[in-house]
């Protein structure tokens, strides 16, 4: 039996590149797949590939920023298969320029597609997942968001915002069996064709990223993971909190922090907080001890 037999997956931006690889991989694992893309011919082509291989798939043509279109996509999925188990928020665009040359319109457009689009799609499946007490959501983040990249202020901001969205949704979804994770892929797609040399593009085939999805969407999946994947290599990234120093109150605290900066930023004893309020708890505890 395939690992995802009986599961229903929606993959956005699945007409080509990484999304196509995701859709084909999930179908090979037994999932029924909704192939979402604005390009109707491309989406139909992926559906044809899945069906030719013996799988079941449905093409839906809508922008992830179209709330009504996304709601209709989820309604169609539920009508056809009765459930939705997996959402892979993959759809995205690039508008790369240095921040000095970037228009606010291009900044807003990238954030709208990556962040708001993912939020719209996630909101559309959330109640169904809560009702069935099972769901697996994957946000597509990026090393550009986690670590920065020249010329990608808009893209990096959107991609790091998706990490924050995933962190909170994982907490809110836990009691309903909903697990939310992030995938940070490195893949040769139309979005990276002009960025990487030919040899790197060959090694970074999208098909080498998609197997990472199995760990993120199976019944045994973790939650709040950030999986970095490319060229068949997989690693996890973390948002951590150092032990820090208590610098006290008043204006002198700034000077104390400057002197103690190496201690405040030391990674010895750092933790991965289980929720955001951990920071406040540690700060109050440090102040109470003095």
Catalytic residue ranges: 155
Query: Quick one: tokens of 116?
Result: 């708001």
Instruction: For residue 272, count other CB atoms closer than 10 A to its CB.
Output: 10
- Only one residue has tokens 């797949």, namely 33
Pairwise CA distance, residues 178 & 173, whole Å: 5
Crossing angle for the helix pair 117-132 and 153-173, to the nearest 10 degrees: 10
Pairwise CA distance, residues 290 & 287, whole Å: 6
- SS3 of the chain: the string is CCCCCCCEEEECCCCCHHHHHHHHHHHHCCCEEEEECCCHHHHHHHHHHHHHCCCCEEEECCCCCCHHHHHHHHHHHHHHHCCCCEEEECCCCCCCECCCCCCHHHHHHHHHHHHHHHHHHHHHHHHHHHHHCCEEEEEECCHHHHHCCCCEHHHHHHHHHHHHHHHHHHHHHHHHCEEEEEEEECCCCCCCCCCCCHHHHHHCCHHHCCCHHHHHHCCCCCCCCEEEEECCEEEEECCCECCCCCCCCCCHHHHHHHHCHHHHCCCCCCECCCCCCHHHHHHHHHHHHC
């Amino acid at each position: 039996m395939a690992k995802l037999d009986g599961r229903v997956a929606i993959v956005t931006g699945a007409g080509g590149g990484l999304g196509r690889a995701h859709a084909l991989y999930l179908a090979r694992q037994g999932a029924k797949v909704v192939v979402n893309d604005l390009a109707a011919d491309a989406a139909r082509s992926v559906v044809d590939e899945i069906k030719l291989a013996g799988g079941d798939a449905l093409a839906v043509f809508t922008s992830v920023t179209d709330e009504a279109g996304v709601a209709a996509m989820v309604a169609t999925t539920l009508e056809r298969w009765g459930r939705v188990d997996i959402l892979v928020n993959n759809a995205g665009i690039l508008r790369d320029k240095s921040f000095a040359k970037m228009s606010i319109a291009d900044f807003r457009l990238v954030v709208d597609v990556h962040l708001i689009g993912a939020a719209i799609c996630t909101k559309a499946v959330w109640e169904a997942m809560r009702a069935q007490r099972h769901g697996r959501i994957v946000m597509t983040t990026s090393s550009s968001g986690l670590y920065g990249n020249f010329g990608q202020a808009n893209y990096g901001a959107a991609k790091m915002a998706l990490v924050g969205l995933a962190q909170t949704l994982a907490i809110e979804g836990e009691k309903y069996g909903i697990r939310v994770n992030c995938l940070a892929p490195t893949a040769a797609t139309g979005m990276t064709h002009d960025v990487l040399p030919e040899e790197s593009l060959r090694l970074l085939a999208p098909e080498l990223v998609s197997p990472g999805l199995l760990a993120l969407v199976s019944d045994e999946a973790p939650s709040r993971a950030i999986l970095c994947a490319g060229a068949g290599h997989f690693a996890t990234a973390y948002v951590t909190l150092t032990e820090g120093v208590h610098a006290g109150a008043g204006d002198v605290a700034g000077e104390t922090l400057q002197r103690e900066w190496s201690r405040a930023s030391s990674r010895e004893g750092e933790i991965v907080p289980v929720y955001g309020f951990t920071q406040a708890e540690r700060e109050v505890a440090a102040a109470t001890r003095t």
